Amino acid sequence: MKVKWSGIVAVALVVIAITAHKVHTKHATVTGAEGLPRVLLVADLSEADSADACAEIIGSVREARQRGVSVQELSPDSKSEMLRRYRVLTIPTVLILDRGGQVVLRFEGEDRQTVGAVRTQLAQLH
């Protein structure tokens, strides 16, 4: 069987180009090079004043809003199409979206590790 090296090289170059583009796009979006990303919070917003992990997540998102980050808050029982679009099944859910509405980062639940990751990522948005 004769190997077509030019075809293999062409496929490899396409894969490398796509990977480089995705890495560059994700980095630019998260760092806000083309403007700040948007944050979507889906949570039981009545828990904002409680002393649980959900309240910490809500607080972190609201702090980001105070720094100028675009934030949208949704209740899990809202009729918003965004719940279906982003397949939100767990609350709280925090999504960091690029300017095109694509999910860059997704955080679900309220365990300590998730709370810390949400806080860290949102602190980087300014």
Cα–Cα dist 73/76, whole Å: 10
Handedness of CA 40, 43, 48, 54 (dihedral sign): negative
CATH number at residue 91: 3.40.30.10
For 65, the domain range is 5-123
**For the whole prediction, is pTM greater than 0.85?**
no
pLDDT for 18: 66
Give me the pLDDT at residue 73, please.
Answer: 95
Q: What's the number of domains the chain is made of?
A: 1
Q: How far apart are CA 56 and CA 50, in angstroms?
A: 9
Q: Which residues contact 72 (CB under 8 A, 6 or more apart)?
A: 38, 39, 40, 41, 82
Output the average pLDDT for the chain: 82
pLDDT at 113: 94
Tens of pLDDT along 30-70? 444 445 579 999 999 998 888 899 999 999 999 999 999 99
